[in-house]
């Protein structure tokens, strides 16, 4: 055991400095929580969060949350306390655009996605809501995109590209909220900061 890992007596014996107060540790923590980390997108970005005690501890000091799946994570808005940026991937537009048997199959996912979107928008925390086309486990190819209205309802987006959007969104948090649609297309993004600045200002963004 190292002195730094032991209690106060052991630390004093080895001449190690005192640990900062617990509250100070939590205030200075600069962490990003990725929900559903065992999923394909979660693994591309970096837990299973069903244990409420574990979740409460995990969220202490977290500055940002990336929610990469439609799982109803934000049904409890209290979970966002202390968070200053939320990035949410949502396939709600795709679910709403599906019909017939596919619509029946997607009904539960649609309900959870709708709940998450509403919770994030009303949480009072700056958010980036990325409405994607159908997320697919395919190679990202040319990393080219389309941001036109209706893309999320009829288009597709590779999960690898979706992970890229989540990471880049962290570097460009909006003052209040940003909502845009995206699917794989023909536009290549060469400067992510410029692209997100344009999206935030409303240039070419259609919800």
* pLDDT tens figures, 127-146: 999 999 899 988 777 789 99
φ/ψ of 145, rounded to 5, equals -140, 165
Is the pLDDT higher at 119 or at 36?
119
pLDDT given for residue 192 in this prediction: 94
Strand pairing of 31-35 and 62-67? parallel
- Tally of CA atoms within 13 A in the half-sphere of 175 that contains its CB: 3
pTM over 0.85: no
Interval 14-56: pLDDT, tens:
344 554 554 544 454 567 777 754 455 545 546 444 555 555 5
- ∠ at Cα 72 (36, 147), nearest 5°? 80
For residue range 163-206, what is the model confidence (pLDDT) as tens digits? Answer: 999 999 999 999 999 999 999 999 999 999 999 999 998 754 44
User: Region 58-66: what's the mean pLDDT?
Assistant: 77
Element (H, E) at 22: helix 22-28
pLDDT of residue 191: 94
In whole angstroms, give the CA distance from residue 204 to residue 172.
17
Asked if residue 106 is part of any domain, the answer here is yes
**Residue 189: which CATH number?**
3.40.50.720
Task: Give pLDDT, residue 183.
Answer: 93
pLDDT at 3 over 60: no
Assess if residue 206 is contained within a domain. no
pLDDT of residue 87: 93
Q: Which domain holds residue 56?
A: 3-201
Helix axes 192-201 and 159-170, enclosed angle (nearest 10): 80
**Could you give the CA distance from residue 16 to residue 20 in angstroms, rounded to a whole number?**
12
Structural domains counted in the chain: 1
Mean predicted lDDT score pLDDT of the chain: 75
Three-class secondary structure assignment of 148-176: CCCHHHHCEEEHHHHHHHHHHHHCCCCCC
How confident is residue 149, by pLDDT bands cut at 50, 70 and 90? confident
Contacts for 178 with CB less than 8 Å, ≥ 6 apart: 127, 128, 129, 196, 199, 200, 205
Determine the length of the chain: 207
Residue 7 CB coordination number (10 Å) = 9
CA distance 160 to 40: 8
pLDDT, position 2 = 34
């Amino acid at each position: 055991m190292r002195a730094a890992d032991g209690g106060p007596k052991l630390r004093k014996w080895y001449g190690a400095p005192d640990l900062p107060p617990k509250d100070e540790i939590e205030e200075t923590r600069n962490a990003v929580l990725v929900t559903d980390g065992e999923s394909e997108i979660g693994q591309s970005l970096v837990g299973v969060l069903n244990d409420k005690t574990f979740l409460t501890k995990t969220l202490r000091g977290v500055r940002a949350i990336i929610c990469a799946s439609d799982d109803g994570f934000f049904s409890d808005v209290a979970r966002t306390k202390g968070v200053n940026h939320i990035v949410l991937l949502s396939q709600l537009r795709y679910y709403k655009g599906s019909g017939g048997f596919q619509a029946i199959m997607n009904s539960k996912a649609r309900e959870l996605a709708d709940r998450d979107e509403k919770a994030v928008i009303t949480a009072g925390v700056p958010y980036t809501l990325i409405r994607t086309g159908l997320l697919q486990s395919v190679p990202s190819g040319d990393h080219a995109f389309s941001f036109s209205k209706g893309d999320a309802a009829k288009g597709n987006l590779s999960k690898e590209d979706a992970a890229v959007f989540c990471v880049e969104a962290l570097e460009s948090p909006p003052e209040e909220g940003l909502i845009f649609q995206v699917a794989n297309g023909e536009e290549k993004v060469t400067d992510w900061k410029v692209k997100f600045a344009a999206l935030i200002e409303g240039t070419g963004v259609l919800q």
